[in-house]
A and B are shown apart, each in its own frame.
Chain A
Amino acid sequence: MLRVIIFAPLIGAITLGLFGKRMSERLIALIACSSIAVSTIAAFAAFAKLLGQPADAAGVRRLSDTLFTWINVGAFRADFAFMLDPLSGVMVLFVTGVGLLIHIFATAYMSGEESYYRFFTYLNLFMFMMLTLVLGDNFLMMFVGWEGVGLCSYLLIGYYFLKDYAGDAAKKAFIVNRIGDFGFALGVMLIFYHFSTISFIDKPGVAGVFTLAATKPIEAVSTTALYAGGLTTIAILLFIGAAGKSAQIPLYVWLPDAMAGPTPVSALIHAATMVTAGVYMVVRSNVLFGKAPMALTIVAVVGALTAFVAATIGIAQWNIKKVLAYSTVSQLGYMFLACGAGAFAPAFFHVVTHAFFKALLFLGSGSVIHAMHHDEDMRNMGGLSKYLKITFFTMGAGTLAIAGFPMLSGFFSKDEILWKVRSSTVLPGSLGTVLWLLGMLTAAITAIYMTRMMVITFFGEERFKNKKHDDHGHGHDDHGHAKDDHGHGSDHGHSLTPHESPIAMTLPLIILAILSVVGGLIGIPEGLAEKFVPHSLHHFTHSFYEFLAPVITTPVIPGNGGEAIAADHSAELVSTILSSIVALVAIGIGYGIFKGKPMLQMPSFLENKYYVDEIYDAVIVNPLKFISTYGLWKFVDGIIIDGTVNGLAKLVNLIGIGFRQLQPGITRLYAAFIFGGAIFVIGWFFLTIIKR
């Protein structure tokens, strides 16, 4: 039954891929959206069935769907099978739901593109791969989906393949991803080495990875544990994979460049679904990570640093999509910070709320970009709230959510993360408090740059009127539009008055805005719920964490002091109030500064993203290119291999030259050879006769 969820988008992709070229736009849109709709309905139905499912021995409710035994070699067994448990159930709901909304948005946004069908083929293919990743019941199925979404990301980022920067960005995304995948693959191999299985769940006769991992002791907090080949090594290798897929330091550089793809791609892949696959994988492996506190510490520190650094870069960007890209990197950092602090459930809650508001923000920016005739530079915007009312209000909701405005979804998830970091039972010593403060600071910067984005785009002077209209909005990261006619008739004489987007684009915005606002109410932290929520509703507000409890174990490293803080409910209240104040004050600061001075220039080293790309180019990329060009190409291929092949040919040539001397065309020489040969033969027989 789960196979319907997964194969519906695949059928859509195959249909569109084979026959889409001759279809009309409406038919393509219909096929694409309906395949995802089927998937969504099936997902909800499966989820409903899951709720009615009795729990198994470990207390976990689960639906399984095995298609066939794929690989069965010795001890290694990987089935082509899917599994719906609370974790993948929640994930599949929002992946299909948000995916459906984005598909609907894209039908209007991509209208007029020359290869309309190609876009939706790839988008449906992506959904298939993502769902395989989420619903797979062993590490190999997850890896299949993992690689598949990487491929679709490459195809979609490079959708405008005629533009150099799009192809370059696509290659960068795939290659950087691949580096992470190397770590992931090694991690899976090591898992097999230790446990002789890679299945998440217990199969008849063979226990699953996590059941076995739970029996292992907690490893030491030391750097030697990292390369000792035990659980810590596995955890770190898996995290390297997650860092590649989910854009953490040092493998985040592909995500800002990935904004070269169409905006719905950025919304779906680089905000709501693909980049969260890394977090999903880490949360899925929470039992494993729980036994490796050193790995968790590294995860937390990397996550916190990524969150902070990305936020500082985002505040200096002028391209609206780049701001959101760095925002995504930053929020992903929060999720990993939470995972590292042992708070896997709040991390996953943030995944869900982030999917809502980040998809909303990206789609909203798409609406803005559409109205600005595909200009993405915020310096050319301003005062758009008058023209794009629905976009303005929905993006406003999203911005407040991400900034942590109290009572919105982002507030509950981020607040819970910050508190759990502070009161972490895993992080050593006072690291929890340090990272908590860093997280607060990052939250402040987040609120500031998101407010900046809103203010520069929607308030103030209408700078788009200052542009010469024949400039036609070729901003810094403009993508080429296949047809120049944007459907505004032949009248290019009008100054670009922005207009609100069609309902296919605004309806998903409204739905996502509602979800961003109320979505947090199912996961209100206990400490707050105790004080503010009527007791009868406690079951509802705590439903998210209760639902996930069977599959997520919060690790406890005894003696690190976190338990004492965790029990202190007044400290939790202080943290919550502090984060609310920080959010509100930061929003106020952002509004205050940028309303007056929208063109305020940020320090150039921030705008140039700390020159990280340039450093990578100098330290890694160019030396590799040098070695490849001069070492491998010119020397090994050019001199050694070509030399051998050409040398053999020259040898044959020389032998030929030698033999050529036998036929110089001199007739008398031929006569001489004949004579000499005759004498030789006669002399030979003569001598042998003499011997006889």
Chain B
Amino acid sequence: MVPLSWYLALSATLFTIGGVGVFVKRNVISIFMCIELMLNAVNLTLIAFSSFYREVSGQLFVFIVMVVAASEAAVGLALVIAVFRNRQSLNADDTNLLKL
């Protein structure tokens, strides 16, 4: 069997990459992809635990997370389109009008 810790390490790594990507990436689509990456890393952790302890609640929670991810992607993309219409740019640095 693959040890649990390997799954957790992979998941943590994916989560960290996604997390760093959220605020390093300039393109808002890339930022969304990184957010999805983070969410999927969490899914992986949940599945790993569920499989290891033979608990089904982990898999149930994954469904919930996926629903949230999907809806969040939909709303987020709607927001991106609205911002694009105003700023004509997909660069996260260009939405800076609320500065002091």
Contact = CB atoms under 8 A, between A and B. Distances in A.
A94 B96 CA distance: 89
Contact of B95 (A663, A667, A672): A667
Interface in B6-30: 19, 22-24, 26
Given A668-B92, A668-B93, A663 B22 contact: no
Interface in A293-322: none
Interface residues of A, number: 11
Contacts of B2: none
Contacts of B96: 664-667
Contacts of B97: 665
Main secondary structure on chain A at its contact with chain B?
helix
Contacts, number: 34
B100 A663 contact: yes
A669 interface: yes
B98 A663 contact: yes
B85 interface: no
Interface in A632-674: 660, 663-669, 671-672
Contacts of B54: none
Interface in A502-534: none
B99 A668 contact: no
A40 to B, nearest CB: 79
Contact of A665 (B22, B23, B98): B98
A664 B19 contact: no
A675 interface: yes
Contacts of B100: 660, 663-665
Contacts of B95: 665, 667
A674 to B, nearest CB: 9
A675 B22 contact: yes
Interface string B65-100: 000000000000000000000000000110111111
A369 to B, nearest CB: 73
A671 B97 CA distance: 16
Nearest to A662: B100
A654 to B, nearest CB: 14
Contacts of A664: 96, 99-100
Contacts of B98: 663, 665
B23 A669 contact: yes
A665 B99 CA distance: 4
A667 B22 contact: no
A207 B31 CA distance: 101
Given A664-B96, A666-B96, A671-B22, 8 more contacts: A663-B98, A663-B99, A663-B100, A664-B99, A665-B97, A667-B93, A671-B31, A675-B23
Interface of A: 660, 663-669, 671-672, 675
8 contacts: A663-B98, A663-B100, A664-B100, A665-B95, A666-B93, A667-B96, A668-B23, A668-B26
Can you list the 3 inter-chain pairs with the closest CB atoms, starting with the nearest?
A: A665-B99, A665-B96, A672-B23
